[in-house]
Amino acid sequence: MKVTQQDLFDRARQVIPGGVNSPVRAYGSVGGTPRFIDSASGCRIRDTEGKQYIDFVGSWGPMILGHAHPVILEAIEKALKDGTSFGAPTTREIELASLIVDLVPGAEMARLTSSGTEATMSALRLARGITGRDLCLKFEGCYHGHGDSFLVAAGSGAATHGHPSSPGVPEAIANLTTVVPYNDLAAVQNCMEEMGERVAAIIVEPVAGNMGCVLPAPGFLEGLREQCTRHGALLIFDEVMTGFRVGPGSAQGLYGIEPDLTTLGKIVGGGMPMGVVCGPTSKMEQLSPVGPIYQAGTLSGNPLSVAAGVALLSLLKDGAEQIYPALEAKAERLQAGWKSALDQHGIEHCWNRVGSMFGLFFTAGPVTNFSEASAADSQVFRRFFHGLLEAGISIAPSPFEAGFLSMAHSDDDIDQSIEAVSSLQL
Ligand code: KE4
């Protein structure tokens, strides 16, 4: 008897909260039944009923060269033969850390973790340990993983499911985090004038990807750099999503701003579990075992994840001159095509995009912060999402997420998605 997605979802919800291991996958803001994915290759994913979708989620960012890239699979398969985890240093970790240091302008050292959340939690603890201060400033709609200090006015799944400030976070912890609107430098300056000497860090997504895609206003990142320097706080660039996505030097290379600490994830692990905290030696050596600030992980630097990360970063480094211009051209084609199709539908919308990372909002725009992103028409988004899904196009099941293109998206694939948008009944 044929097992449907609904059957799987019903079974999953018996043994997994909401049937998913990460809330945004549950289609909470768009309704309907999540697709259970059997396999993926190139720019396509295939569900358990055999239906294929052109994928613009890319596992939320890692798949910049497409799913199941042969070089990455081969690297994992080769590493697999030697075992899955040793809990001891390996040569390959030196290679990955060296690649990160080479590619990330603000990095002289890197500490590997198993997720972006671990990376941001560790970066904030490092900043607090270095400065001896407790406060953290973040931006409404930015998401830095599910660490307690960051689940205050958070984006992504937290915003999607209506709990931007999660229950379970002690008030004493939440009170250490101050939240201001993204791109509001005056609000940052006011905060820092008032409490700057108690602020350990300002943490920011240099291009926000968890309230849809929102770009830094001209001077915003420069202003954060100046404020941190002036008040002795550390500037943390959370590049878990933008790292190696918006350019070979990540957002800090693109915008020419050097943060004090950088967090990475997604692409750096080649689609395997991985996060990174990186920065200058003077700061990174404050981490145990050299310094006193503790940070650890059983599977940190896991051989399979590191093999995948080395493979993907090496491909991006060696092919950067071809890859990033090609991604830009693909994204331009997509944006122009979807825009034209939506204009023909008479649907009010606006785009934000940096390279192959984009956000589409059903509002006239501009969208420069979370409140403007929240004003977009969620009902149109719901119809848009399901219409595309039906047509074999997979986008993020939330308006508070970014979309991604890969090198595996051909012009034909992009044109197929444009045709799907044109044919929607919105
Ligand atoms: P993870 O712990 O999910 O690996 O990384 C957390 C994180 C930190 N910083 C930024 C800027 C991030 O975008 C993320 C995770 N991104 C979401 C997608 N918006 C992951 C998807 C999910 O939660 O399932």
Name which of 312, 406, 425 is nearest 64 in CA terms: 406
Q: pLDDT tens for residues 357-389?
A: 999 999 999 999 999 999 999 999 999 999 999
The residue contributing the CA closest to ligand 1 atom 1 is 116
Q: Is the CB of 150 under 6 A from ligand 1?
A: no
CA–CA distance, 2 with 318 (Å, rounded to integer): 46
Closest residue by Cα to atom 21, ligand 1, is 60
205 Cβ below 6 A of ligand 1: yes
Establish whether residue 239 lines the binding site of ligand 1, counting it when its CB lies within 6 angstroms of any ligand atom. Answer: no
d(Cα 412, Cα 407) in Å, to the nearest integer? Answer: 13
**CATH number, domain 70-315, options 3.40.640.10, 3.30.465.10, 3.40.50.300, 3.40.50.2300:** 3.40.640.10
Is pLDDT of 336 > 90?
A: yes
Average pLDDT over residues 113-142: 98
End-to-end CA distance of the chain: 35
Q: Bridge-partner residues for 403, per DSSP?
A: 358
Where are the chain's structural domains? 5-68+320-422, 70-315
What's the pLDDT at 393? 98
Over 90: is that where the pLDDT of 158 sits?
Answer: no
CA–CA separation, 145 and 150 (whole Å)? 7
- Distance in Å, CA 208 to ligand 1 centroid: 11
With a 6 A CB cut-off, is 240 part of the ligand 1 pocket? yes
Q: Give, using CA atoms, the residue closest to atom 13 of ligand 1.
A: 241
pLDDT band at 187 (very low <50, low <70, confident <90, very high): very high
Q: What is the mean pLDDT of the segment spanning 111-130?
A: 98
CA 190 to CA 243: how far, in whole Å?
A: 30
Rounded to the nearest angstrom, the distance between the alpha carbon of 205 and the centre of ligand 1 is 11
Q: Quick one: which atom of ligand 1 is closest to the CA of 242?
A: 11
**Model confidence over 210-223: pLDDT tens digits?**
999 999 999 999 99
Nearest CA to ligand 1 atom 18: 60
Fold category of 5-68+320-422 in CATH: Aspartate Aminotransferase, domain 1 (3.90.1150)
d(CA 262, CA 119): 9
- Residues marked as catalytic: 143, 238, 266
Q: Is 120 in the pocket of ligand 1 (CB under 6 A)?
A: yes
